[in-house]
A = this chain, B = another copy of it.
Amino acid sequence: MIELRKDPIVKRWVIISSERSKRPIDFKKVVEEPETFFCPFDYGNEYSTPPEVLAFREPSSKPNSSGWWLRVVPNKFPALSTEHELKKQGYGIYDQMSGYGYHEVIIETPEHNTSLAKMPESQIREIMWAYVKRFQEIRKDRNIKYIQIFKNKGREAGATLSHPHSQLIATPIVPITIRSEIEGAKSYYDFRERCVFCDIISQELSEKVRVVFRTSEFVVIEPYASRFPYETWILPIKHSHDFGSIETKPPLVEDLAKAVSIIAKKFEKKIDDPPFNLVIHTAPFIEGLEHYYHWHIEIIPRLTNIAGFEWGTGFNINHIAPEQACADLSE
């Protein structure tokens, strides 16, 4: 079966082509050598990271010592930093800006060899709390237009340290991907006066063929125009444009932790624990988006390489239909 499908939000087309999974591959198998390394995220090595900006720890324990079960620290090798004040300037036909922003690491647990799939749901709830607390703190900076919270699991997913961690990067501009989601959602709203994400949720909940599971507050789907095998989205069922808003409703945080825990376990059990990227998409800090933007989480297993066609066109070839992916994860 070969089919072109269009993402209703950013109008990005995808080729769903099950045939191609049969292709022969003549490249060498990758063999990984055992790991021996000083881990800056382990107990006892707190001195080797910048001082923590948030930690959940035993009341008796001192900052930047052991006794914590979650730590947030500035990235030692930041992509952006508040040391540079925000300066914008032209340069011939080009535009540039100083590298103003925040780059933090959420050390999810003291345990070096664990994962979202293995850790208790209660620990994932702590991670979600850390996400939202830092999100709310950093958004107070008026120079910040967007906060990207994300997790890279595994080398193929771009992680450089294997100790379970997430990251937060706060930028002084609205990133292009978010901008095109907003443009797409706005034109849909202008046309139908409904949120496109809400319409996706209601069609998916009634069709059921791409819904992996739902909790009371969230639905977990394989999107209709999935770019990648087992691409998975977690969406709040009740419309909300702002990830930060879950802070005010603790049951939402609990329920999100539950959804993340379940999907992580399914990835480990059903599709052999792939490397993946988890990214939170939320409204940037500009007015007027509340009716048509809808925050959500996208999880992309890194099972296939991005090649020239995808780079050239932004047009993905996915050899596992989302209906099949949903069946594989649900069975």
| B residues in contact with A312, CB < 8 Å | 148, 150, 175, 177, 277, 279-281, 298
Residue in A161, A281, A313 whose Cβ sees the most chain B Cβ within 10 Å: A313
Given contacts A15-B80, A160-B23, A305-B155, contact A298 B313 (CB under 8 A): no
CB distance from A206 to the nearest CB of B (A): 9
| B residues in contact with A8, CB < 8 Å | 93-95
B97 touches A313 (CB 8 A): no
| B residues in contact with A311, CB < 8 Å | 150, 177, 277, 279, 298, 300
| B residues in contact with A271, CB < 8 Å | none
User: Could you mark each residue 23-45 of chain A with 1 if its beta carbon is under 8 Å from any beta carbon of chain B, else 0?
Assistant: 11111111111110101000000
The residues in A between 283 and 317 inclusive whose CB is less than 8 angstroms from any CB of B are 298, 300, 304-315, 317
A98 touches B3 (CB 8 A): yes
Is A81 in contact with chain B by the CB < 8 A criterion?
Answer: yes
> Residue on B with the closest CB to A91?
B224
Main secondary structure of the interface of A (DSSP, over half): mixed
A150 touches B95 (CB 8 A): no
Which of B77, B94, B169, B207 contacts A6 (CB under 8 A)? B94
CB distance from A264 to the nearest CB of B (A): 15
Q: How many copies does the complex hold?
A: 2
Given contacts A28-B35, A77-B22, contact A175 B314 (CB under 8 A): yes
Given contacts A171-B313, A203-B93, A315-B176, contact A2 B277 (CB under 8 A): no
| A74, B24: Cα distance in complex, Å | 16
| B residues in contact with A27, CB < 8 Å | 32, 35, 155, 159-160, 162
Given contacts A77-B20, A99-B2, A308-B278, contact A162 B26 (CB under 8 A): yes
User: Could you mark each residue 5-22 of chain A with 1 if its beta carbon is under 8 Å from any beta carbon of chain B, else 0?
Assistant: 110101111011101101
The residues in A between 137 and 188 inclusive whose CB is less than 8 angstroms from any CB of B are 146, 148, 150-152, 155-162, 167, 169, 171-173, 175-178, 180
| B residues in contact with A298, CB < 8 Å | 311-312
Which of B2, B28, B77, B199 contacts A19 (CB under 8 A)? B77
| B residues in contact with A279, CB < 8 Å | 308-309, 311-312
Which of B20, B93, B176 contacts A314 (CB under 8 A)? B176
Given contacts A17-B79, A155-B305, A203-B92, contact A34 B23 (CB under 8 A): no
| A77, B15: Cα distance in complex, Å | 13
6 closest cross-chain pairs (CB), A and B: A158-B307, A2-B99, A150-B308, A279-B312, A175-B313, A177-B314
Contacts A/B (CB < 8 Å), 8 sampled: A2-B78, A3-B96, A4-B173, A8-B93, A29-B33, A31-B32, A169-B309, A175-B315
